[in-house]
A and B are shown apart, each in its own frame.
Chain A
């Protein structure tokens, strides 16, 4: 082990002149996540119309109010599904993908983008729009240098809630397709 603390850390004190802002991390693209869950398989985009009734059932199951968009759904030839969704919390916006195997079991939950900020910024549709469709190649709001962020454990409860609504979607709208 080789640990070289900055001078203030030797004293056990926090002193900073210019704080770095934790802002956005873009991990993988939709193409990459397709390849992660369904390597060497071709996926067909299968958007579905989310009826008010389905939207309501998904809301009840997950307590997420932000409406689900049915246009980021893909299907494999043998009945596997890939669903991309996002959760907008008070402090963060997270785009994530759920892979579902042909037998209905969840293959995994992969985070595509994690955008962290103040509540009022996350609430602004306009602010959120700037991240839509960005890839890891876009430098906007993405500090490429920040990689290793330590700190108190960040809860993934919102993602857990998100997966609940994706499961409802699968049970009610995708399974029989």
Chain B
């Protein structure tokens, strides 16, 4: 097993493969992830995401096919989860100091992901001003795109792990460990996975670093309930990492392992209580 790791998407992205000699062949997979960072970063004022946030309510915005794909999936999950998953919470994270302020939004009544309309497959418009943050979905999407690149370049078995959101492919069943939420340096062996993805939501690092919760309830205006605090961890297993990543928010906010939205996307829940 050989692995490389780069700092991308605000976290550590690790790609491991079986073949010994093809470390450099991982470059294209890392490039795909870099491209997603370039398109969807909230931190980069020039990213496509920030262009959408600035202009989409004023005029139509042309977007990259990958951005369009993420927005479509986000809308689908938003609908299936009755609004529990919504990327239109960037302003909440800005107000809490978790994201940089790119726009002055205080005077607007902001909409959500449901206000994005597709004029053409790659042209969008928003019915209301919006402050989208793709932090709850883009990592999973990036993992999937990296896996696509690896498959296309002839690699037959790999794992892509974007700071805890991971997907494996190949013939072997791989054992999966997740961090113990009450002691994150310890790992719990939760099972084996082949050709699937797992993502986890938890606050142990946020709490350790004394940061406010980044899990936002999009359905409330009540200041006390916007940042959701919890102990333990919520993981979702799904075929593709983009769904695993986004659905952890549905699982965490609903606290229901049998939420119909998980069932709809053929996903399974694992809750580690502490």
Contact = CB atoms under 8 A, between A and B. Distances in A.
A14 B177 contact: no
Interface majority SS (helix, strand, loop, mixed), chain B: strand
Contacts of B62: none
B180 interface: yes
Given A35-B24, A148-B176, A155-B10, A3 B268 contact: yes
B177 A149 contact: yes
Contact of A116 (B10, B163, B185): B185
A56 interface: no
Contacts of A48: none
Contact of A1 (B24, B163, B194): B194
A149 B185 contact: no
Contacts of B194: 1-3
A154 B166 CA distance: 13
A152 B233 contact: yes
Given A117-B185, A152-B203, A4 B163 contact: no
A19 B183 contact: yes
Interface string B158-194: 0101111110100001111111110111111111111
Contacts of B86: none
Interface in A9-57: 9, 12-14, 16, 19-23, 25, 27-28, 32, 35-36, 39
Interface in A113-165: 114, 116-118, 144, 146-157, 159-160, 163
B198 interface: yes
B271 A150 contact: no
A2 B268 CA distance: 12
A36 to B, nearest CB: 6
Contact of B164 (A1, A12, A151): A151
Q: Which of A23, A118, A150, A160 has the most CB of B within 10 A?
A: A150
B257 interface: yes
Interface string A102-114: 0000001111001
A6 B274 CA distance: 18
B84 interface: no
Given A4-B173, A35-B24, A151 B196 contact: no
A108 B168 CA distance: 24
B141 interface: no
Given A1-B239, A22-B179, A153-B205, A147 B3 contact: yes
B184 A151 contact: yes
B191 A9 contact: yes
Contacts of B190: 5-6, 9, 150
A149 B239 CA distance: 17
A96 interface: yes
Given A149-B161, A152-B201, A156-B12, A32 B6 contact: no
Nearest to A144: B1
A65 interface: no
Interface of B: 1, 3-8, 10-12, 14, 16, 23-24, 27, 30, 139, 159, 161-166, 168, 173-181, 183-196, 198-206, 208-209, 233, 235, 237-239, 257, 266, 268-274
10 contacts: A2-B194, A12-B273, A16-B186, A35-B24, A111-B7, A150-B199, A151-B233, A152-B164, A152-B206, A154-B164
Interface of A: 1-6, 9, 12-14, 16, 19-23, 25, 27-28, 32, 35-36, 39, 91, 96, 108-111, 114, 116-118, 144, 146-157, 159-160, 163
Given A3-B194, A28-B23, A36-B27, 12 more contacts: A1-B195, A6-B190, A12-B273, A20-B186, A109-B7, A117-B185, A147-B3, A148-B166, A148-B176, A150-B177, A151-B178, A153-B163
